[in-house]
Amino acid sequence: MSPAQIVIDTNVFVAALRSQYGASYKLFMLLDSDKFEFNLSVPLAVEYEEASKRLLGKIPLKARDIDDILDYVFSVANRRKVHYLWRPFLRDPKDDMVLELAVSASCEIIVTYNKIDFPAVLAKNRRNAMSTISLRLPDSLHKQVRKLAEKESVSINQLVTLALAEKISALLTEEYLETRAKRGSRKKFERAMAKVPKVEPEEYDRLSR
C-alpha cells in the first residue's frame, strides 16, 4: 500500500519549533519514515522560512539552526512545481497555497491547525500575520484586474496575491528548493531539533492520550 500523500501547513511547522512534546514536533521527526510522503512547493517553502525566522529571539534556536532544519525538510519533501491553474480562493490567500499544492499533488491529507478555513481537518485556527502594501497600477491594468476578479468571483486582493505567488514560483523555480535540499543533513536536523524547548505545547498541539 502506498504511503499517504500529505501537505503540512505553516502553523504546524511553527508549532514544531516551539515544543518537543507536541504532536507537530513528533510529526516532523517522522518526515523520512515510510508512514507518509510530504509534499512542498516553492511558495509554501518560502512561507516556512519567513514564519520560522520570525521566531528568532523567542525560542532557543538560532538562525543557523532553523536553516539546518529547513534544509533537511526541503531535502526529504516531494518538491512540487505548482501552476496556479485551479484557484481555491479561501478567505486567507496564504491558505490558497496550501490547498493548491494539495490538489496539484493529489494529497489525501492537509495537516493544519486551521479548522475554520480547512473544515475537513480537526485543528485550531491560527492566523498568520499579513503585511499591507500599496500598489499604483495604470488605469488600463487596474480595469483588467477588476474585470478578471469579477469574472472569477474573488477580490482584487486575492487575485493579486495569487499572481504574486505564481510569479515568485516562476522566478525561483525549483532552484531555491534544490539548492537548499542539497545541504540537507539528518544529523544537523536532529541536532537543531534537539534545541527546541522541552515545554508543554499549546492546547491545540497536544498529543491525544
Rounded Cα distance, 202 and 199, in Å: 9
- pLDDT for residue 34 is more than 50: yes
Q: What is the pLDDT of residues 132-158, one digit of tens each?
A: 666 677 877 778 878 877 877 777 777
Tens of pLDDT, residue by residue over 187-201, are 999 999 999 999 999
User: What is the structure's pLDDT at 160?
Assistant: 78
Per the model's pLDDT, the better-predicted residue between 20 and 140 turns out to be 20
Strands (E), 42-151: 78-80, 109-111
Q: What is the pLDDT of residue 141?
A: 78
Q: Is the pLDDT of residue 15 over 70?
A: yes
Q: Quote the pTM value.
A: 0.72
What is the DSSP track for 46-75?
A: HHHHHHHHTTBTTBS--HHHHHHHHHHHHH
Residue with grid cell 517522522, as numbered in its chain: 30
Pick the residue with more confidence: 82 or 29? Answer: 29
Q: In this model, does residue 128 exceed pLDDT 70?
A: no
Q: By C-alpha distance, which of 120, 72, 111 is closest to 205?
A: 111
Contacts of 18 (CB under 8 A, 6+ apart): 24, 55, 59, 196, 197, 199, 201, 202, 205
Q: Which residue has the cell 532544519?
A: 69
pLDDT single digits (tens) 87-112:
555 555 566 778 778 877 888 888 99
